[in-house]
Amino acid sequence: MPKQEYPLAFLAEFLGANLSGDSKAVIKSIAPLTSASSGSISFLEKTQYKDQLKTTEASAVILREADLSFLPKHINALVVADPYLSYAKISSLFNKSPNIDPGIHPTAILGKNVIVGSNVSIGAYSVIGNKVQLADGVVIGEGCAISDDVVIGENSRLYPRVVIYYGVKIGKRALVHSGAVIGADGFGMANDKGKWEKIYQLGSVEIGDDVEIGANTTIDRGALKNTIIEDGVKLDNQIQVGHNDKIGAHTAIAGCVAIAGSVTIGKHCMIGGASCFNGHIEIADQVIITGMTGVENSITQKGIYSSGIPASPHLNWRRILVRIMSLDQIAKRLQKLEKIIFKEE
């Protein structure tokens, strides 16, 4: 476990920040402005929360130059261009995840011709199939199941109870959280006179470097070609990635998103939670989809896209619903009026 306290001067150098105040102040934790105490460092992401600076008990605050004047004189500051990004960077210094010692637990089961790199850790009751390749620094948590011919790149980590089906390839520095299933069959069926005939999924899954996959997220293998997750993709919890999907590099997808099969999502996209994607569509690079959006058709231009109706008080919603249900009738009446008006003209 890394050291858990740092002089403010060290954090300033680590972030490339301008320091205002006591460089020797010792920082022991990160906390929100509203609950920070002595020894904590906090951050101000948005100026609209500047009033919280007046009452915070933090020893230091990360903020922009434009917000420095709102900070009481007795509180130290690290001045940066992007406070939230700086918070993200120093969070690595205060990470409390326990160190994992290399080694293979005696209850783990390894198949034939498994290649295990140096400093690999395989946890209790994990099962490793035949011809699996685990590169240097890989960590396999307790109770994982890894099928035949899987390749996992350097310094990747699987948390407990991850399931990896056969033939899946995972790049370097991946983080796969508990309950994730990678490489299960895609949902392929052909109808034979009212009965469903299974289409066996002959592709696999390819995952790039620096990818994070959230808890209970599922990524289906391709039908004929591979499902592809490119470098730097970040997937939240409980996401469904369908067969033959391709998610472009550095795209981030929030929880409970459902992506049907054969969808291509571009690079540097941001997908809000609980959004749904129709199958066989393409999404351009740098597209932002707000939460609970239903994406039925391809999006060819970068930008922000939304759908769905926000929650409102129940009585208001009932009135809105009545009006929505009347739209077709209103449209027909409007057409009749237009015909009368234009005829008179």
Task: Give me the tens of pLDDT residue by residue for the chain, a chain 345 residues long.
Answer: 456 899 999 999 999 999 999 999 999 999 999 999 999 999 999 999 999 999 999 999 999 999 999 999 999 999 999 999 999 999 999 998 888 999 999 999 999 999 999 999 999 999 999 999 999 999 999 999 999 999 999 999 999 999 999 999 999 999 999 999 999 999 999 999 999 999 999 999 999 999 999 999 999 999 999 999 999 999 999 999 999 999 999 999 999 999 999 999 999 999 999 999 999 999 999 999 999 999 999 999 999 999 988 889 999 999 999 999 999 999 999 999 988 888 766
Residues 6 or more apart whose Cβ sits within 8 Å of residue 269: 248, 251, 252, 283, 285, 286, 287, 288, 289
Question: How far apart are alpha carbons 40 and 8 in whole angstroms?
Answer: 11
Active site annotation includes 243: yes
Question: How far apart are alpha carbons 33 and 42 in whole angstroms?
Answer: 6
Query: How confident is the model over 171-186, as pLDDT tens digits?
Result: 999 999 999 999 999 9
Q: CATH code for 103-305?
A: 2.160.10.10
pLDDT at 344 (0 to 100): 63
pLDDT at 339 (0 to 100): 87
Q: Can you read off the two tokens belonging to residue 113? A: 């011709």
Question: How far apart are alpha carbons 24 and 206 in whole angstroms?
Answer: 47
Question: How far apart are alpha carbons 290 and 288 in whole angstroms?
Answer: 6
Query: How confident is the model over 213-239, as pLDDT tens digits?
Result: 999 999 999 999 999 999 999 999 999
Q: What are the backbone angles phi and psi of residue 237, rounded to the nearest 5°?
A: -75, 150
Q: Which amino acid is at 11?
A: L
Q: What angle do CA 234, 240, 245 make, to 5 degrees?
A: 75
Q: Which amino acid is at 173?
A: R
pLDDT at 3 (0 to 100): 61
Crossing angle of helices 83-91 and 8-15, in 10° steps, is 110
Nearest Cα residue to 114 out of 149, 144, 143, 69:
149
- Whose tokens are 């008179």? That residue is 344
Q: CATH code for 6-94?
A: 3.40.1390.10
Catalytic residue among 74, 105, 177, 243: 243
Residues 6 or more apart whose Cβ sits within 8 Å of residue 149: 129, 130, 131, 132, 166, 167
